[in-house]
Chain A
């Protein structure tokens, strides 16, 4: 009995309709939270005692970085579930992640460069964390390229799943790079055990950004997922129904 919900999540028509129902909730809450958090980050939060107004890049750089690794982890888990249990919907989830993850990895690198120039004196240094984040961008691009090289969706799913799973090793490397190696990059302030080493007036907009980004990801994932499910389905009856609505 307890497993019926899990089995339903493997059923394309059920997931399609669920995604359709949930998307507006995630989208609107994400929009409201992100607008509020941006106002807080740019206007209400006080300047930093060392970096002045320049630290405000934190509020978009750290959430972008969170998105880049969180989306990749989601993609790798979904790909593994799809590969092991041969669940089409799981492959569709994995395929829905890549573009979003790639753009936010690029945004992480770009905002990091714009933050690095005034604070470190250089746009780019071959620091472990920066390098592994760049590797993550190449993993996403490789995944997208690999998928595009197959005409058959099922074969693209299986091949790209292997790449996604192998590449997930990069996620802990990014996270722990600042601990394991000498790094110019500052260590974690929030994503660690113990009390966050950041003042509440700055922590609140940052956490709101994290939350808003996660909800935004959920809304976009569900939107793309519907398209990916339609591409994988040949049974006509339920598709006719959902297309009519």
Chain B
């Protein structure tokens, strides 16, 4: 296991690289879901205002 974590002598380069990409994957999921939720909330507000004006 420690040999695996050691990655030859490249641990200090390999693991940060994998970490950066993992963070990118997770952040984009979070951002995309948040953007959709915000757009839905905004559309709801707009519909409510339209209803009041009708």
Contact = CB atoms under 8 A, between A and B. Distances in A.
Interface of A: 34, 38, 42-43, 47, 52-54, 56-57, 60-61, 64, 99-100, 103-104, 106-107, 110-111, 114-115, 117-118, 216, 220, 223-224, 226-228, 230-231, 233, 236, 239-240, 243
A118 B13 contact: yes
Contacts of B42: 230-231
B35 A224 contact: yes
Contact of A236 (B25, B32, B50): B50
Interface band, chain B: 20 to 34
Interface string B12-23: 011011101100
Contacts of B35: 223-224, 227
Q: Is the interface of B mostly helix, strand, loop or mixed?
A: helix
B36 A56 contact: no
Given A47-B8, A52-B10, A100 B28 contact: yes
Give the dominant DSSP class at A's interface: helix
Contacts, number: 94
Contacts of A52: 8-10
Contact of A227 (B24, B39, B44): B39
Given A53-B7, A56-B7, A230-B39, A107 B21 contact: yes
A198 B27 CA distance: 32
Contact of A64 (B10, B21, B33): B21
A100 B28 CA distance: 6
A216 B21 CA distance: 13
B24 A103 contact: yes
Contacts of B50: 236
Contacts of B4: 42-43
Interface string B36-54: 1011101110010010000
Contact of B40 (A34, A110, A230, A236): A230
B38 to A, nearest CB: 7
Given A224-B35, A226-B39, A117 B27 contact: no
B9 to A, nearest CB: 8
B53 to A, nearest CB: 11
Nearest to B35: A227
Nearest to A19: B36
Contacts of B40: 227, 230, 243
A56 B25 CA distance: 18
Given A227-B38, A227-B39, A240-B47, A53 B10 contact: yes
